[in-house]
A = this chain, B = another copy of it.
Amino acid sequence: MLIVQKFGGTSVGDLERIQNVANRVSKTVKKGNSVVVVVSAMSGETNKLVGYAEHFSKNPSRAEMDMLLSSGERVTASLLSIALQEMGHSAVAMTGRKAGILTDKHHTKARIEDINPDHMNSALADGKIVVVAGFQGVNEQGDVTTLGRGGSDLSAVAIAGALKADLCEIYTDVSGIFTTDPRIEPKARKLDRISYDEMLELASLGAKVLQNRSVEMAKKLNVNLVTRTSFSDEEGTLITKEENIMEKPLVSGIALDRNQARISLMGVKDRPGIASDIFNALARAEVNVDMIIQNKAHDETTNIDFTVTVGDLNDAKRVVDSFASSGEIKADSYNEDICKVSVVGVGMKSHAGVAAKAFLTMANENININMIATSEIKISMVIDEKYAELAVKSLHNAYELDK
């Protein structure tokens, strides 16, 4: 098999851990696999460099930041290659440039546009372990770019796609994807497999293991993604296409997002296009609106409720105030003490009654549901934040996710 293994900052946090990574790569190679390793900077290193830059400027040039920050991954990649060579393996360290990672021109948050895998392929054909500095590529001008948050995961997935690797393993400090946050529900169970779409829902609903960008790219490139821990031999969770999951569970997991705020607009003037005007103004202010409810009041006005992330709340307030001062909104209120609980599962596509069970569970616990949104594979409910843990535990139990 051809396997891409990606190790994050904590997995290569010191020299001893880099040696552990080398041992793990070595073991994978000795089982007869070809391996491409993608590494992040040693944990703390990137923050140190950012701190250096901020000593000089609050708003340092992005091109310079890329030249600065890309150095951290180069260090880890060359050290890991040296460690593998010392163990008797044939290995070669490559920068993002050498690995053929071409990006657009947006410094510090570049998108991978193409991968030219020639150098990697010829090294693999020579029987070498390829060690790639993650998080970085080059733009059309040949300047170093970095890929932003979660960038090394993206490097790994894109490389796995370009090389048509059998597996892309993302090593972190957690052992996989769980049916829910084990800190809330200790009976949470690690999933063996999960579909891309479920993972996307879980990631956007607050599961911190993988960034949506990486899962989206894995889905697009059809990369079998495994997330597992580098601190033990425990098997992780395979993220793959739905067809590869034999027994589709009705529900795969319960997600909780505490980072929500609700905005209620009352007495909105009922003229055509008023909702469109409000939400366009919010979009221009770069406020991401999540759930929306609109209902006619008894008079000739409308009530509109919507949710945003807590971080966007102030920007949203400013937009709402401008409509209020023009008299098109009579009153508005804000509530940060809410959360969003979501039930995710591909099985609900083909099974009725999944949503009904969620509502019944909330009712049995006397939890009032403020807002509801559903998709093919997800039911989201906005509830008072004080019920967050209770809701998660009850739903986890109701769908028998600990079994």
Contacts and interface: CB of A to CB of B under 8 A. Distances in A.
Interface of A: 15, 18-19, 22, 49, 52-53, 55-57, 60-61, 63-65, 67-68, 70-72, 74-75, 77-79, 81-83, 85-86, 92-93, 95, 97-98, 142-144
Given A64-B78, A64-B79, A65-B78, 12 more contacts: A18-B56, A56-B82, A57-B83, A61-B81, A63-B92, A63-B93, A64-B81, A65-B82, A67-B74, A68-B75, A70-B74, A97-B142
A61 B74 contact: no
Contacts of A144: 95
A342 to B, nearest CB: 42
| Chain copies in complex | 2
Q: Tell me the interface secondary structure of chain A in the complex.
A: helix
A49 B68 contact: no
A64 B52 contact: no
A79 B64 CA distance: 8
B61 A49 contact: no
A53 B85 CA distance: 12
A346 to B, nearest CB: 44
A82 B63 contact: no
A79 B61 contact: no
Nearest to A81: B64
Nearest to A55: B15
Nearest to A77: B67
